[in-house]
Amino acid sequence: MVQSKEIKDGMQVLCKDGNLVGTVDHMEADGKTIKLKRNTTGTHHWLGMDAVASVDAKGAHLKMSADIAKKALQASAPRSAPAL
């Protein structure tokens, strides 16, 4: 299981097919939610730690494809991490 301390600011978030989903802005204080940097439309998104399969030098790798990852992104800060 991936620990929140493994997620670093500026780290790339990649879906399981290797496509870039976003870049980590920071971990929320709850330790369960990743806040991504603003996208091209200027919007932040959030993603639950339970979506992360692994972390390596390339970034945080998600358990899901790009299509599913885009649906899992939250457009507002969740009260708790979204379940998959």
User: Does 68 fall in a domain?
Assistant: yes
Written as one string, the DSSP assignment of 38-71 is P-TTS--EEEEGGGEEEEETTEEEESS-HHHHHH
Q: How much is the pLDDT for 79?
A: 66
User: Does 54 fall in a domain?
Assistant: yes
Domain count along the chain? 1
User: Does 84 fall in a domain?
Assistant: no
CATH of the domain at 17: 2.30.30.240
pLDDT band at 74 (very low <50, low <70, confident <90, very high): confident
Q: List, for residues 4-54, the tens digit of each pLDDT value.
A: 999 999 999 999 999 999 999 999 999 999 999 988 888 889 999 999 999
User: Does 24 fall in a domain?
Assistant: yes
Beta-sheet strand order (sheet of 45-48): 45-48, 33-36, 20-27, 12-14, 59-62, 52-56
User: Does 64 fall in a domain?
Assistant: yes
pTM: 0.85
What range does the domain containing 20 cover? 4-72
